[in-house]
Amino acid sequence: MTSHPHVLPGRLAYFTGSRSERGALLAFAVLILVLLPLGLDVFRLNIFGKYLTYAFVAVGLVLCWGLGGILSLGQGVFFGLGGYCMAMFLKLEASDPVSTAIQSTPGIPDFMDWNQLTALPWFWEPFHSLAFTLVAVIVVPTVFAFVLGSALFHRRVGGVYFAIITQAVASILSILIVGQQGLTGGLNGITDLRTLLGWDIRSDAAKYVLYYVNAFLLLAVILGGAYIRNCKLGRILVGIRDQEDRVRFTGYNVAAFKTFIFCVAAAFSAIGGAMFTLQVGFMSPTFVGIVPSIEMVVFCAVGGRLSLVGAAVGTLVVNFAKTTFSESFPELWLFAMGALFIGVVSAFPLGLAGLYERHLAPRLSRWRQGGSAAAVLSSTPGE
């Protein structure tokens, strides 16, 4: 105890948070960086990589819903926009005039040719450039979230109304994508993606590389989320969730804060979407509509709406269960998923992370303290 107990050592501390947060993050990093790659073959690892792309959405929801109390039922929109931006670039690369020579109009994506389009639509043009694409992956969904968020939050639309309107937006976008087959690939989506600047993304080596890129991006996003939660902005969000008027009458522009965190959640989801496209090799409207959007909320709820790592773990657990279950008992899966929705909301509102904090963590710390007397002495008696 050199200086005052309340002074924090510096902003870096915001990234790591409390000791149990640090421990959880470290354990999760070991799981996805070491254990999964060692324990799974490349096919299964790729599937887990796919699950981890949904975790970006869940982490964004912890910030926006768990912390800020803003429930968005349209996160699939941002996941999809990010994914579609990436898919458009990859599709254009796969549709060079040589490999599409048999089409009536060579050089445009195959589904456009099937739909009697004879030229590339204008909004596809810039996606020839990878630099533009990478910027668009983040910027397009974030700007969309900004427009939607600032319009609604400035007019004090929140809670249930916000949830319903975001859900409507998800529904509209998925109907639009399905309906405009010639421009978007319709219900099938944008498929048959092969290379990134000539590098075959379907090879085993590429799958490993992409898995690790995805895993590191996810950890970075979790760290960024931890910073937001632990700095003053995080406490303002909690304030907005619990006492919105008090925050407003403390001189904060509440709408600006809500818009900001909604945009952050959108940007996170978009990164997940782009990584999905790269790892799975296609993007389709089934990841945009209301069903995937609300499922992603449940991933977050199962893991724990207040815990960043918890939400990521929850995503893995639910998806792993879904795959295992629906392979062997396809009928039971919907029952199980429905029960999960009901159970998590009514019995375990803090999810797996809450169960851990309540039951496992005290036992762990007792065990640790029993293990060494030194630990008891060094641990601060800060109750």
Partner 1 sequence: MFDGYTASELVSIFVMQGFAGLILFSVFLLMALGLAIIFGQMGVINMAHGEFMILGAYMTYLTSHVFKGAFPGIYGAYFLVAIVVAALAGAALGWLLEWALIRHLYHRPLDTLLATWGVSMILQQIYRSIFGAREVGVELPDWLMGAFHLSDTIELPVNGVFVFALTAAISTIILFMMFRSRWGLQVRAVVQNRPMAGAAGINGTRVDRMTFALGCGVASIAGAAFTMIGSTGPTAGQLYIVDTFLVVVFGGAQSLFGTIASAFSISQSQSSLEFFMSGSMAKVFTLLTVVGILLLRPQGLFVLKMRK
Partner 2 sequence: MSNNDFVLSVEDLTVSFDGFRAVDGLSFYVDTNELRVVIGPNGAGKTTVLDLICGKTKATEGSIKFKGQELTRMSEHEIVRAGVGRKFQTPSIYEDLTVFENLEVSLPRGRSVLGALAFRRDAEVVERIESVAEDIFLADLLDERAAVLSHGQKQWLEIGMLLIQSPELLMLDEPVAGMSLSEREKTAELLNRITPGRSVIVIEHDMKFVKHIAHKVTVLHQGKILSEGSLDKVQNDPRVIEVYLGH
Question: Contact 237/257 with Cβ under 8 angstroms?
Answer: yes
- Both structure tokens of 168: 């409507």
Alpha-carbon distance of 370 to 376, in angstroms, equals: 8
Please state the separation of Cα 313 from the chain's center in Å.
Answer: 12
DSSP secondary-structure letter at 190?
B
Pattern 6-25, partner 2, x by CB under 8 A: xxx-xx--------------
Q: Which of residues 343-382 bind partner 2 (CB under 8 A)?
A: 382
Work out what residue 380 binds among partner 1, partner 2, none; the CB cut-off runs from 5 to 8 Å by kind. none
Does 335 bind partner 1 (CB under 8 A)? Our answer is: yes
Does 168 bind partner 1 (CB under 8 A)? Our answer is: yes
Q: How many CB atoms lie within 10 A of CB 37?
A: 16
Work out what residue 284 binds among partner 2, partner 1, none; the CB cut-off runs from 5 to 8 Å by kind. none
Q: List Cα–Cα distances, 335 to 228, 291, 322, 342, in angstroms.
A: 37, 15, 11, 11
Does 163 bind partner 1 (CB under 8 A)? Our answer is: yes
| Strand-pair category, 199-200 with 195-196 | antiparallel
Contacting residue, 256, 332, 360, 376, with partner 2 by CB under 8 A: 256
State the number of binding residues for partner 1 (CB under 8 A).
42
CB of 346 vs partner 1, minimal distance in Å: 6
Question: Contact 82/248 with Cβ under 8 angstroms?
Answer: no
Q: How many CB atoms lie within 10 A of CB 281?
A: 18
Does 283 bind partner 2 (CB under 8 A)? Our answer is: no
Work out what residue 152 binds among partner 2, partner 1, none; the CB cut-off runs from 5 to 8 Å by kind. partner 1
Does 39 bind partner 1 (CB under 8 A)? Our answer is: no
CB of 296 vs partner 1, minimal distance in Å: 12
Does 74 bind partner 2 (CB under 8 A)? Our answer is: no
List of long-range contacts for 182-187, beta carbons under 8 Å, 24+ apart: 182/111, 182/112, 182/115, 182/116, 182/117, 183/112, 183/117, 183/121, 184/84, 184/285, 185/91, 185/109, 185/111, 185/284, 186/111, 186/285, 187/284, 187/285
Question: H/E element holding 21?
Answer: helix 19-30
Contacting residue, 23, 39, 179, 371, with partner 1 by CB under 8 A: 179
Does 219 bind partner 1 (CB under 8 A)? Our answer is: no
Does 184 bind partner 1 (CB under 8 A)? Our answer is: no
Question: Contact 13/232 with Cβ under 8 angstroms?
Answer: no
Contacting residue, 40, 340, 355, 361, with partner 1 by CB under 8 A: 340
Work out what residue 157 binds among partner 2, partner 1, none; the CB cut-off runs from 5 to 8 Å by kind. partner 1
List of E strands, 131-281:
195-196, 199-200
Work out what residue 151 binds among partner 1, partner 2, none; the CB cut-off runs from 5 to 8 Å by kind. partner 1
Question: Contact 60/266 with Cβ under 8 angstroms?
Answer: yes
Q: Which of residues 228-287 bind partner 1 (CB under 8 A)?
A: none
**Coil, strand, or helix at residue 189?**
coil
Does 298 bind partner 1 (CB under 8 A)? Our answer is: yes
Question: Contact 214/235 with Cβ under 8 angstroms?
Answer: no
Work out what residue 338 binds among partner 2, partner 1, none; the CB cut-off runs from 5 to 8 Å by kind. partner 1
List of E strands, 159-283:
195-196, 199-200
Work out what residue 104 binds among partner 2, partner 1, none; the CB cut-off runs from 5 to 8 Å by kind. none
Binding positions for partner 1, rule: CB under 8 A: 71, 73, 148, 151-152, 155-157, 159-161, 163-165, 167-169, 171-172, 175-176, 178-179, 290-291, 294, 297-298, 301, 331, 334-335, 337-342, 344-346, 349
Residues that bind partner 2 (CB under 8 A): 3-4, 6-8, 10-11, 227-228, 231-233, 235-236, 238-239, 242-243, 245-254, 256-257, 260, 382
